[in-house]
Structure 1
């Protein structure tokens, strides 16, 4: 007979691994550490400062918060700091691979870790697809400025009506045109997937270059716009009154909800 004690369903779902056990298991892991501290810093910055800072800030100010978007950034910064502290504790307590899955396994239990693993897969899949679609739109627009036109059928989700300036594009027979496939989004996913397969250190170097460019653009924007605001403060301060525009009544449109 087995010496393993019989456990009930709830006990099996709540089985946890100790920190020492997790560390022993990773000692024989075939994965090797190839990322140094600077690679990790740039990786973190790249995750924090995403494409949204370039495309959502204007929409948030114009349609939701007005000048009070400054408060939105402040609240978001506090939330990000708290999340960063959580991950700092996670990585220092469990300096092993596995991310939140391993952390959940040692603190809550096996079932919670299984749920966390599924959520991570869902999160990464959705995040990659959304960013790829956004990148696709920018690339199509940029190539169009240089006279390189990608067929509209290859720039959107399958079966989705093709819109131009908010109006449906019609085929020769008068029926609405629909997209077949988002080719640019597919290609960038394939390219980045191939880069990750090629090697972690190589992908980290590419990430470092991208983050450096992104940070340069942001710092340049802050300095140039900041200098312009200082030079024209008397005329621009009228745009900040009222600082929190009156709410329209719709949720998320100005006021405190915005």
Structure 2
């Protein structure tokens, strides 16, 4: 039988305690690697290490908005063109449907765990009570690293899309530091400011963060609706079966069923983000009701949106004429009198990046907070501020 995780004395209380704990690393690692926690311990003793409980202020509609905001980033604008042009052709619609079904099945797993263990730790907490602390640590560390690096890249891409939308070169917002290696020496001021503003918002209040996310998500959905309508009104259904180059395969399945599934594997990347919703479980008013609706509902809505957008794209251009790198932007540029739509797309993607960044930053802070509760990292990260009921330390650090 696996051992239960005991509450260890703080290894970071004093310098001497730290070095003493460091000398005991082999023994501690052997003991804790296979140790598992229990849902009761996680929900009571471990959770109490934060000092203050996170306020349960979120409802199912907040979770739906967070899920949509986390998933519908720039991904659809990047993967749709490549999947259609090189993998599935017009049948990319089915690729998105298949990927959405797979994401929904995965979302069911997250939902079941989040209902049983409504904590902010997400996958880290779930693994800690099933496979033990070592597996949980490896997963948690990789998730935090993934969030930090991807958030930096996403914040930087905001500058590019925002610059395109307002017609200003991004080079005017970046300056070069000669002390840093070439390729890593451009400081993006706008990206830094965006990250700082979002950090302040998520530190101030989870409820207010959700309201901001809902407003930005609503604006983004308006832009998506505009793109879908423009594609339907300006497109041609003949593009579903007729390639631009007669020498290329025609029909709805130019690459066969294999291409559809290969396309599904690629576009699945566009669904990444719903897992961050499970990290908000500790702040949900009624986890049993709200989490299933929030997580599963957001995946279903996003799947429908992606399918409608892929139909719009396929109607605008034959699959072999679609730009793999910028499908929607180039499709509208190719239509006479619709060049201005590309700037509208840039504005919409900018809102999408902001919502995706906010949801990711909410998730990474809660992962770090719960990892701090387990004493794997300093317990300072686990502290929840008594006034804001948010993990301010983890949010500010990351």
TM over 0.5: yes
Deviates more, 1:121-130 or 1:51-60: 51-60
Aligned to 1:134: 157
- Partners of 2:151 and 2:185 in 1: CA distance: 20
How many residues get paired? Answer: 226
| 2:37 is the alignment partner of 1:14 | no
- Partners of 1:94 and 1:235 in 2: CA distance: 49
Aligned to 1:238: 242
Q: What aligned pairs does 1:19-168 form with structure 2 within 5 A after superposition?
A: 19-25=39-45, 26=47, 29-143=52-166, 145=167, 148-151=168-171, 154=174, 159-160=181-182
Aligned to 1:184: 190
Deviation digits for residues 106-138 of structure 1, max 9, x if unmatched? 111111111122012112112212211221211
Check whether the contact 1:155–1:184 (CA below 8 A) recurs between aligned residues: no
Gaps of 5+ in 1: 162-177, 248-253
Aligned to 2:214: 208
Shift of 1:236: 5.8
Check whether the contact 1:136–1:155 (CA below 8 A) recurs between aligned residues: no
TM-score (norm 1): 0.73
Over the residues paired in the alignment, what is the CA RMSD in angstroms? 3.2
Larger Rg: 1
- Partners of 2:145 and 2:55 in 1: CA distance: 26
Gaps of 5+ in 2: 1-5, 7-26, 244-248, 264-398
Q: Kindly tell me: are residues 122 and 142 of structure 1, through their superposed partners in 2, closer, same or farther at Cα, counting changes over 3 Å?
A: same
Deviation digits for residues 133-178 of structure 1, max 9, x if unmatched? 22121122233x2xx55545817996456xxxxxxxxxxxxxxxx9
TM-score (norm 2): 0.50
